[in-house]
Amino acid sequence: MTIKPGDTLPSATLTQMSEKGPQPVTTDELFKGKRVVLFALPGAFTPTCSARHLPGFVEQADEIKKHGVADVICLSVNDAFVMNAWGREHKTSGRVHMVADGNAEFTKKVGLAFDGSKFGMGERSQRYAMIVNDGKVEKLFVEDAGGFSVSSAENVLANL
């Protein structure tokens, strides 16, 4: 079952890079008591994700935060090392929080996983964005397969 507006995000442990290396971070730590924009994508360093999805949120992060958003989080079914390297390449520091869902735990729990095995990618996240307020989904924007419009930074900003 896919998560929908009004639902509470499930508990999951994700990973983020710190000065000490990869560190666990829970969904409570990321979402409790604040308004957050989360966007997820099939994979770091993939064409649409690198050319349009992540760069759009990096460019719009300050404007998004002006609307009462405490954090902008990028999530992918990659490891923390990959997410950190991708974040460095796109200069996300201070703008977009890079979070790894390496085992697709969160992605499966919200019902937004897909099987990319026929492309050699294994289990991945669908492309989506959501506005989360104190752990509850306020708005959800899920792309059709291969699409990129509703989960864009511009669309999220227009819906804040």
**Catalytic residue list:** 49
Which run of H or of E encompasses 64? helix 54-65
φ and ψ at residue 127, rounded to 5 degrees:
-85, 125
Residue 5, class by beta-carbon neighbours within 10 Å (0-12 exposed, 13-18 middle, 19+ buried)? exposed
- Looking at residue 119, what DSSP letter applies? G
Amino acid at 47: P
Which run of H or of E encompasses 84? helix 80-89
